[in-house]
Amino acid sequence: MVALVAPSGAGKSTLLHIAGLLERPDTGEVLVGGQPCGTLGDDRRTEMRRRAIGFVYQFHHLLPEFSALENVMMPQMILGQSRSAAAERARELLEYMRIGKRAAHRPAELSGGEQQRVAIARAVANAPHVLLADEPTGNLDPTTSGYVFDALTALVRQSGVAALIATHNHELAARMDRAITLENGKIVPLELG
């Protein structure tokens, strides 16, 4: 788990978008599984995102007309999983995130912390190689933020997925394996505490 800590406007979200193949870099190359992705067409980049990259944003972006369970099933079904297999994996993930009892609820019926845990479950539903999170606890109160971060950390550690997590919270960043920052457009190590 790597914390990306930098002030607003430094380029954290842009870096995550480039790493997640949502934007193309001006220079350099993004490798996914050793494969250069700079010259891939949009369809192939989309396929790479579906299979290899999970995203969690500050605002959960859950689909309001679907239940928590259906929101976690959706990316799996898009990738070709059967409805029953997707539902089974979604239930497992929601249970792991301690929100299984709320699986039938729509996002508007869930608290902010519950919504974010559903978003995390959705992000890892297709077993990505890397999880990119942009301020995943930024709009939560400190207690809920800590709980959601603990759930995210446990899931990352258990699954073995690599995670790059942008945050302003130095306390949370200090709990990750290492921290980096952006200085004049360059990634540099950051010493915390």
Express each pLDDT in 11-20 by its tens digit: 888 899 999 9
CA distance 47 to 54: 12
Highest mean pLDDT among 9-18, 33-42, 121-130: 121-130
pLDDT in tens, 40-84: 899 999 988 888 899 988 777 899 999 999 999 999 999 999 999
Average pLDDT over residues 109-124: 91
Domains and CATH numbers, the chain: 2-63+114-189 (3.40.50.300)
**Would you list the DSSP string of the chain?**
-EEE---TTSSHHHHHHHHTTSS--SSS--EETTEE-TT--HHHHHHHHHHHEEEEESS----TTS-HHHHHHHHHHHTT--HHHHHHHHHHHHHHTT-GGGTTS-GGGS-HHHHHHHHHHHHHTT--SEEEEESTTTTS-HHHHHHHHHHHHHHHHHHT-EEEEE-S-HHHHHTSSEEEEEETTEEEE----
pLDDT at 162: 92
- Could you tell me the pTM of the whole model? 0.87
Cα–Cα distance, 45 to 35 (Å, whole number): 11
107 vs 96: CA distance, rounded Å: 18
